Amino acid sequence: MSPSKKTNLVAFLFIFGMLGMSLSAIPLNDESLQLKEEKTNLLTHNANVSFEGYQEDSVYSYSTLSSGGYSQCIITEDLEVVCWGSNEQGKRGLGGAIGGESTTPEGQAGPWLVQNLASRGNMVEVSTGGWSSCALNDIGEIWCWGGGEYGQLGSGNDVCQESGGLTCWYASNHPPLQVSLPNGKTAVSLSDANQGHFCAILNTGEGLCWGWHGYGQLGDGTVCTGGSEYSSDNNPSPVGCNSFNGRYTPVIVSESNFPTNSSFISISTGYQHTCGIIDNNDLYCWGRNDDGQLGIGSMADVNYPLPQFVASNVIAVGTGDDHTCALYQSQTVKCWGANYDSQLGTGDNFWFSSPTAINLSANIPIISLEVAYKNTCAISEQLVPYCWGANWWGQTGNGGGDYTHQSNPLAIGVNDAFIDFGETPNVIATSINGNTLCIIHAGQNNSSMSLGDVVCGGQSYRGQMGDGNWNTSWGDANLSHVNLSSDSIGPASYQGAGGIHISDRDIDSDSIIAILDNLPYGCPDGSYDSNYDGSCVSADVGHYSTNLLYHSQVPCDVGAYQPNVGQASCIASSPGYYVDTNGAQSQRACPLGTYQPDYSQENCIDASPGHTPNIDSTDQVMCSSGYFQPNAGQEFCNPTTPGFYVLNPGSLNQFGCEPGTYQPNFASSSCIEASLGYFVENSNSTNQEICISGTYQPDYSSTSCLDSEPGYYVENDGSSTQTPCGLGTFSTSV
C-alpha cells in the first residue's frame, strides 16, 4: 500500500485501523486460597467492552505491539517477532556482523522477521527501545538484540570493546542474547522500553531491571558512576556497570520501601525514571526527578535509586521521557511531571510534581493507558481512544492548529468531519514512539477495518509507517494501514501466519478486565463464578472447584467424596470404603462379606471362597483350621459340624471323619482316634462305640471289636484285652 502524503489530517486518519489479539496472560501463582465466606462480591463495575487488547507493562496481558525510536515491532500469530522502520544499532535484528548494521537497509523498510530468534522459543511479548529490542518467550526467557552500549542487552557480559583508547566499540547489531535472570527464576512480563533500559517482572513477583543506570532508574539502590568513553578515565562502579554507566548485569528492584511479601503487577520504564505498581495497587517511582516525574511532590533534580511511594489505588502506569501518568481504580487518569508539550493533558502547560487529574470527564471510564516520550493516550470503555501531548506530525489526532501540541485529551474519530467511525471507533490498543502513533483495531460494522488491523500515522521518517518506504525526509507525515499478511513480511523465506497476536484483557472470562478485577485470575480455589459477573460462590458439598475452572463446579467422581463446602478437591475413598455415585458427600463402608484394600474405589470385592473380610474390611483372610466357607462374599467362615473336621486354613469344605475316628465337637481341625476297647465303624461319626463283654480291642482307631478266642474270655465292656480261662475252666465259644 503506497503512502498517502499527509498535510493537516494525518493523525486523525491513522488512529482507526486497529488490530486485536488473543494471547492469554501467565499467570503468576495458583496457590490454593480458602474462602472465608460463602460468597465474595468482587467489583460492582461490569464494563461491556471488547476484551481483546492489552494494558502495556501489566502482568495480566502481553503487549504485542511496541513502538520505539522510529520503529515498531509486533508478535505475529505464529509467535515470531516482526519489526519495521529504523534499524538503528541493529534493533530490528536484520542480521549482519556485529557493529555492521545499516540504519535504513535497502529493501527492508517494511515488516521483516527478526533473524536468529526462531530457535529461541515462542515469543509472547515484545519491547523495542531507542537502540535495542527484547522479547519474552513462553517459557519465561528474555532475549535482546541490537545495541548494548548502555548494557541494555542484559546478558551479564559487557559487549563494549576497547579500541584506540575508546571504551565502547562493536556494541551494536548484536544477535539475540539471553538476558541473565536469577538462577531458578523466570520472567512473566516484559516492560515496554522508552529508551535505554528495560525491566521485567519475575515469577516470584520481583522486579528485574538492566540498561542505562546513570540516575538510579534500575531501582536497586545504586547508581552507575565513573564510566567514560575514554579508556584512561574509565572506572565504572559498582561491578556490572560499564563505561557508559549502563548496567549489563540485571539487578533486582529493591523492596525495602514496600510492605512485606509484595509483588509487582506492573513496571513501566521511562527515559531516566521507572515506575511500578505492587499487588496492593500502591504506585512507586524511582530514578531521576528533575521535572517532577516521580510524583513525590518535588521538582528538585535529585536521583532516587530506591522506589518512592506515589499513590494508592493505581491499576496501570505509563512513563514518558519526563512525565508519568497513572490509571486509578476509579477509571480516571492523573499525570505529573514536565508539561511543555501538554503531555499531562491538563489543558495547560503547567508542570506538576504530584498526580493531577487530566482534563477529561470522570463520566468517561478509562480501561487502558499508554505513555511514551512526550505523548499519552487512553482508551475508554467504549473503545474510544483519547490522546494528548506532542503533535508535531498530527500524531495525537489534532489535524488543526499549530501542530505542536494537543493540550486536552482528544477523542479520535468520533463523528469527525473527515474521519467518521460513528460513536465507537473500536480501538483496542495504542502504541507511541514519540512521533508516530500506531493503533490496533477491533473491527466493527461501519468500518473498513477488521479485528487485528494495525494503522500507523504521524511522522513517516525512516520507514515507521510500515509501508515499505524509508521516507528519509524529516518532514514527511503519513497514514498507513500496515500489511501484516505472510506474503508482505520479509524475508521471502518466511512462510508463517503473519498478522498480530491478540492479547485478552479478561483472563478469567468474568466480564471484568483483569486490571479492574480484584481476582484477575478467577475465584479462589474452592469457589467459582457461576454468573460470569465477578461474584464467587463456594463449591457445594459433593463438588469441588479450582481457580482454573473459573465458572463451574465439578461433582466428585466415583471413588471420591466431599462432605464440606468450598473445597478445591475431593477426598479419595479409604480402604474398606467405596463411593459408587458422582457428587457423593460421604463414603460408604464395604458391605458384609466384601473388602477393599485400595483408595479411590467405586465398589468392594467379594471375599473369596475359603475366606472372609478382616475386621476393617481392608483385606480378606483365610478361614482358620476348623472352619470353612464354600461360597464367595460371606461375612463369616463356617465351623465344622460334629463328625467333620478342617485341617488346613482357607478350606472351602469340611471333611468327614474316617472310620476308626470320630469328632463330637464343632470347629474341629482333626478327628479323634477310637480308644482301646472302642471302635468307630462308620464315617462322619460323632462318637466311638464301646466293645461289649466277650469282645475287646487292643488297638486305637479300630473300626470293630475282636471276639475273645477259645480258651479266653472278656468279662467287662470296653476291654482292650481278653483273659485266659483259669485252671479247671475252658471256653469253647468264639
pLDDT-wise least confident of 109-113, 515-519, 613-617, 631-635: 515-519
- SS3 track for 460-516: CHHHCCCCCCCCCCCCCEEEEEECCCHHHCECCCCCCCCCCCCEECCCCCCCCCHHH
pLDDT band at 450 (very low <50, low <70, confident <90, very high): low
Q: Is the pLDDT of residue 245 over 70?
A: yes
pLDDT band at 656 (very low <50, low <70, confident <90, very high): very high
Q: Say what the pLDDT of residue 9 is.
A: 27
CA distances from 719 to 411, 689, 704, 707, 714 (A): 129, 12, 13, 11, 7
Q: Say what the pLDDT of residue 732 is.
A: 65
Interval 20-34 mean pLDDT: 28
Q: What is the separation of C-alpha 213 from the centre of its chain, rounded to a whole number of angstroms?
A: 32
Interval 436-453 mean pLDDT: 70
Cβ atoms of 464 and 436 within 8 Å: the answer is yes
Per-residue DSSP letter, 425: -
Q: Say what the pLDDT of residue 449 is.
A: 53
Cβ atoms of 71 and 94 within 8 Å: the answer is no
Q: Is the pLDDT of residue 290 over 80?
A: yes
Residue type, 48: N
**Pairing verdict, β 123-128 and 187-190:** unpaired
| 604-626 tens-digit pLDDT | 999 999 999 999 999 999 999 99
Q: Say what the pLDDT of residue 673 is.
A: 96
| 404-425 tens-digit pLDDT | 788 999 988 654 433 444 456 7
Q: Say what the pLDDT of residue 445 is.
A: 40
Q: Is the pLDDT of residue 14 over 50?
A: no
Assign a CATH topology to domain 62-482.
Methylamine Dehydrogenase; Chain H (2.130.10)
Cβ atoms of 453 and 421 within 8 Å: the answer is no
Q: Say what the pLDDT of residue 118 is.
A: 85
| 121-165 tens-digit pLDDT | 999 999 999 999 999 999 999 999 999 999 999 999 999 999 999
pLDDT band at 733 (very low <50, low <70, confident <90, very high): low
Q: Say what the pLDDT of residue 312 is.
A: 98
Interval 256-282 mean pLDDT: 97
Interval 537-548 mean pLDDT: 95
Q: How far apart are CA 186 and CA 37, in angstroms?
A: 34
Q: What is the mean pLDDT of the chain?
A: 89
**pTM exceeding the 0.75 threshold for the entire prediction:** yes
Q: Is the pLDDT of residue 37 over 60?
A: no
| 190-206 tens-digit pLDDT | 999 999 999 999 999 99
Q: How far apart are CA 695 and CA 722, in angstroms?
A: 8
Q: Say what the pLDDT of residue 388 is.
A: 94
pLDDT-wise least confident of 177-186, 497-506, 669-678: 497-506
| 294-316 tens-digit pLDDT | 999 999 999 999 999 999 999 99
Q: What is the separation of C-alpha 545 from the centre of its chain, rounded to a whole number of angstroms?
A: 17
Buried b (16+ CB within 10 A) or exposed e, 545-560: bbbebbeebbbbbbbb
Q: Say what the pLDDT of residue 458 is.
A: 87
Q: How far apart are CA 719 and CA 691, in angstroms?
A: 7
* 606 sits in which H/E element: strand 605-606
